[in-house]
Amino acid sequence: MNIEKVIFGFFNILACTLNFGFFIGDIDRPELHHPFELFAAVVVNLIVTVLKFGDRTQLGATHLATSLVASLQLVAAACVWGWELYVAKVPMTGDTMSVIVSLSGGALVANLISVILLIGETLRHGR
C-alpha cells in the first residue's frame, strides 16, 4: 500500500464531502450553511491543491486543474462572506448566501470530477 496515495485519496474525498456538507440545504437560508464548514472546505481544498503539485502526468495535471478551480471558487465564496459581514457590515441575506452557495456548488462539481478521476485511476491500476 502506498501511503502517499492513501493520504492523497483521503484529502481528496474529504474536500469533496466537506464541500457537499456546506452546499446542502436551501440556497438562500444562511442558518443552514455554517461558516466553519466553509472554512474547513477551503483549508482542505488548499491542502489537496498542494498535494497535487509535482505529479508530471496528464492525469496529475487534470487533478491539479480541478483542485485549483475548487479552491478558487471556495476562496471567492469565503471572500464574499467576509466582505458582507466584516467590510460592508451588513447581516447575511438570502441573496448573498445564494451567491456563496452557488460558488460552493461550482467547487463541488470540480471536487466530484477529481474524485471520479481518482476512482478511474484506481480502477486502471487495479487491472
65-76 pLDDT, tens digit per residue, is 999 999 999 999
Can you give the pLDDT at residue 101?
Answer: 97
pLDDT of 24 = 95
76 within 8 A of 116, measured Cβ to Cβ: no
Going from the C-alpha of 91 to that of each of 86, 87, 99, the distances in angstroms are 10, 11, 15
Residues found in the chain: 127
Domain of residue 113 covers 3-126
pLDDT of residue 2: 85
C-alpha cell at 48: 489537496
Q: Among the residues of 24-126, which ranges form H helices?
A: 35-52, 58-82, 94-126
Would you state the pLDDT for residue 57? 87
What are the CA-CA distances from residue 16 to residues 57, 95, 99 (Å)?
22, 24, 19
Count of domains in the chain? 1
pLDDT in tens, the chain (127 residues): 789 889 999 999 999 999 999 999 999 899 999 999 999 999 999 999 999 887 888 988 999 999 999 999 999 999 999 999 999 999 999 999 999 999 999 999 999 999 999 999 888 876 5
